[in-house]
Chain A
Amino acid sequence: MPTIRIPPVLRSSTQGEKEVHAEGENVGELLRALADQHPATEAQLFSEEGELNRYVNVYLNDEDVRVLSGMETDVTADDTLVILPAMAGGQ
């Protein structure tokens, strides 16, 4: 089953889980499955129109899904999806 890595700012929405396993054939299905398991993540990941929010970067293994096939990008059981919002802390 593919692994989804949860960034620190979303962990309060996944009961502190840093990694979540979910079923899905492609990136979009995997993120939907995450939102089903942890409904609090849905509003942070998706816009009201159901699109992935522009401020959320998603990587399949080490590659940005925007340069692959976006939400349609196929995933396999060994893949890892990294969700990455920007961070600004420095002090």
Chain B
Amino acid sequence: MASGTDLIKQAKERIREVDPREVHELFTGEHNGEVIVDVREQQEFEQSHIPGAVHVPRGHLESRIETAVPNKDARVVLYCASGNRSALAADDMQEKLGYGSVESMTGGITLWKDRGYDVEVPRALSAEQRERYSRHLLVPEIGLEGQLKLLDAKVLLLGAGGLGSPSALYLAAAGVGTLGIVDNDEVDLSNLQRQIIHTQDRVGVPKVDSAEQAIGEINPDVQVVKYPVRLGAENIMEIIEGYDVIVDGLDNFPTRYLLNDASVRLQIPVVSASILGFDGQISVFAPYEGPCYRCLYPTPPPAELAPSCGANGVLGALPGVMGVLQAIEVVKLVTGAGDPLIGHLLLYEALGTTFTDLKVRRDPDCPVCSRDPSEISDEEMGVFPDYEAFCAAAG
């Protein structure tokens, strides 16, 4: 039986080998559809690779090469660390997979580097991060690229309450790099029935501090930016500017309209949800891509139909469902995976366990998003008729 060394030798006799100098000239000059393929393992590729190389580990050659290099007549140069694995892979591609012009680079990336040619050092996760986010890395829709996007993302949570608690916990666990939290409230015993980011021993503590502690205990990768203030016309533009996505868990209409107008002006997508009793609603308002909050709700309802002005009951787990749906929409917006709920309003009714998906259209006459963002003035933001009066009437 032939030894491994014999097999490599035989493979090299059947294929054509190419010197790194020729490959360097080929890929720094004008391209004619040539492809360079790195056949090493994931970790080796992540440390450094030849710029522009496609990565197909030798162990996945048969299953992945036809997707990576669909044209079997293209000139393909394979390389590994020293030129042996690439010779075996080239032999397989030529003899078994029908590629007509496959070569193996002599001496691999080691000789390439010795000649002083450039390598690309891609951004990579630390060993701890690879383990922490391993289940994300295994999902093709997220993978390394998506996880790096999450680590770079800045997400602002409006409220660390019923909706904000679960979304903050899952976004922290998902590795969102910066989580801003706006809340001027303190933890109350009556919050603990649903606001799961807070704990019994933190009753009386500002919610932003309590949330920061919980997030830090889950994931030290996450930087928490605290805003222990009430969101208003005087501070909203300053607070939300620079965030990639806003998670709306606000508890009143005036601030929801204000948020809409400010986020349209700054063109920041808002993942908006609301809850009452056993019912929840969620939608994504992506300025100029889909409808805004005012397209959906041009005017707020009167006091008797706006029970959020006063104290109302809610099933404890309901904001859990809606807040986690918000976290999922944020991850989709940040990574680009799937179809976010833009132009859709999803209703969840817990007692009957029904989900209803309604279409929401852009209003061509919308007072806010039918105009250029630069035309929306400070004075107009969050304005609608007589709201404070009937809110006060509702108590």
Which residues of A does B touch, CB under 8 Å?
5, 7-10, 18, 44, 54-57, 59, 62-64, 67, 82, 84-91
Contacts and interface: CB of A to CB of B under 8 A. Distances in A.
B358 A59 contact: yes
14 contacts: A9-B301, A54-B299, A55-B300, A55-B302, A55-B305, A56-B301, A86-B300, A87-B275, A88-B300, A89-B251, A89-B314, A90-B250, A90-B274, A91-B195
B274 A87 contact: yes
Given A8-B277, A9-B305, A55-B300, A90 B361 contact: no
Interface stretch (B142-150, B158-166, B168-176): B158-166
B299 A87 contact: no
Given A86-B300, A88-B250, 7 more contacts: A55-B298, A59-B358, A62-B359, A88-B306, A89-B274, A90-B275, A90-B319
A56 B314 CA distance: 22
Contacts of A91: 159, 161-163, 191, 195, 249, 251
A62 B358 contact: yes
Contacts of B307: 9, 89
A81 to B, nearest CB: 12
Interface residues on chain B, size class = 35 or more
**Residue with the highest number of chain B CB atoms closer than 10 Å, among A5, A8, A44, A82:** A8
Contacts of A8: 276-279
Interface string B287-313: 000000000111111101111110010
A78 to B, nearest CB: 16
The 9 closest A-B pairs by CB, nearest first: A91-B161, A90-B249, A88-B308, A86-B297, A87-B274, A55-B301, A91-B251, A89-B308, A90-B251
Interface stretch (B104-112, B118-126, B210-218, B349-357): B349-357
Given A7-B279, A62-B357, A64-B359, A90 B159 contact: yes
A90 B278 contact: no
Contacts of B306: 9, 85-86, 88
A89 B276 contact: yes
Interface in B301-339: 301-302, 304-309, 312, 314, 319
Contacts of A84: 345, 347, 358
Contacts of A18: 349, 351-352
A5 B352 CA distance: 12
B278 A86 contact: no
Interface string B215-253: 000000000000000000000000000000000111111
B93 to A, nearest CB: 50
A88 B394 CA distance: 14
Nearest to B363: A66
B208 interface: no
A5 B347 CA distance: 12
**Residue with the highest number of chain B CB atoms closer than 10 Å, among A10, A55, A63, A87:** A87
A88 B252 contact: yes
Contacts of A62: 356-359
Contacts of A7: 279
